[in-house]
Amino acid sequence: MSELLYAKDGPIATITLNKPERMNTISGPMLAELSQRLLEANDDRDVRAIILTGNGRAFCAGLDLQDATSGAGIGGGGSMGVTLDLRDAPPTVLHKLDKPVICALNGGAAGYGMDLALGCDIRIAGQRAKLAAAFTKRGVLPESGGTWILPRLVGWAKAAEIIFTGRTLDADQCLALGLVNQVVPDESLMDSARAMANEIAGNAPLAVQSAKRMMRIGLSEQFDDHVHHVFLQLLPLFQSQDFREGMKSFLEKREPKFQGK
């Protein structure tokens, strides 16, 4: 059985980590396919939103420690050298995607799994979901974007507290800190994620993707530079069919029908 499932339903692509017997712990093949599937969804004109979730009782319990401690797999010292090229690694790919990504947090997300969840644009958590910053308890650090993302989400002091202590946060604590957008009953998690994805997909896809791109670029720009770049992104949108449809539907008091053109 594949360690990763990919499915399309209208404008939504769903990527599911599929190693439930090992709590969706990360293997090398899973990482490679995850990057491939993320890029496939991003390049698919019919896809307007991506949902990332896990199969079973965990979202992703991080590194596969059984493989690592046996000398195989990621971190085992066998296939991983000192010099790494992370340009095609899932956290880097995830950060550069223009399509919106919703994490349907179906259970525990520890270590790499926590970084993966934080790398998504929106997080909807089931009631049993947890974020476990267990890095320092395992002798490592948040290696997949966590040291960059977490301070931007919760501030330096709170991020330091979470990472240095290796703390585990339940769903309600994550909501209070702004680490998840919603907490919903476990049984309605995917329905809630799909509802959010469909709401996003109902908007002009070129505009949504441009907005995400500018938000990402704005993280490292001064304000004056940023507004100039936003204006340059706006010019082609003014020439799009979707812009004309958006204005026309507003005047006609009806729902727009965007084509992504």
3-state secondary structure of 33: helix
The DSSP symbol for 188 reads G
3-state secondary structure of 76: coil
Residue 19 CA, distance from chain mean position: 19
Mean residue pLDDT across the chain = 91
Residue 229, both tokens: 């770049």
pLDDT at position 135? 86
d(CA 6, CA 14): 6
Q: Find out whether 117 and 109 touch, Cβ atoms under 8 Å.
A: yes
pLDDT tens per residue across span 213-258: 999 999 999 999 999 999 999 999 999 999 999 999 999 999 999 9
Whole-angstrom CA distances from 163 to 117, 167, 261 are 15, 7, 44
Residue 200, both tokens: 């996003």
pTM, full prediction: 0.90
3-state secondary structure of 12: strand
Q: Mean pLDDT across the stretch 25-39?
A: 92
pLDDT higher than threshold 90 for residue 27: no
What is the three-state SS of 102-152? EEEECCEEECHHHHHHHCCCEEEEECCCEEECCCCCCCCCCCCCHHHHHHH
d(CA 105, CA 181): 11
Q: Please, what sign has the CA dihedral across residues 212, 216, 218, 219?
A: positive
CA angle 192, 194, 209 (to 5 degrees): 120
**Could you give the strand order of the β-sheet that contains 130-132, starting from the edge strand earlier in sequence?**
58-60, 108-110, 130-132, 168-170
Tell which wins on pLDDT, 142 or 15.
Answer: 15
pLDDT at position 85? 61
pLDDT at position 78? 47
Residue 58, both tokens: 């965990």
The DSSP symbol for 77 reads S
Q: Find out whether 59 and 53 touch, Cβ atoms under 8 Å.
A: yes
pLDDT at position 137? 84
pLDDT at position 101? 98
Which amino acid does the sequence have at 236?
P
d(CA 33, CA 247): 40
What burial letters (b/e) apply to 97-119, b meaning 16+ CB within 10 Å?
bebbbbbbbbbbbbbbbbbbbbb
pLDDT tens per residue across span 37-90: 999 999 999 999 999 999 999 999 987 766 555 554 555 444 445 545 677 788
pLDDT at position 8? 97
pLDDT tens per residue across span 151-195: 999 999 999 999 999 999 999 999 999 999 999 999 999 999 999
Residue 215, both tokens: 């938000």
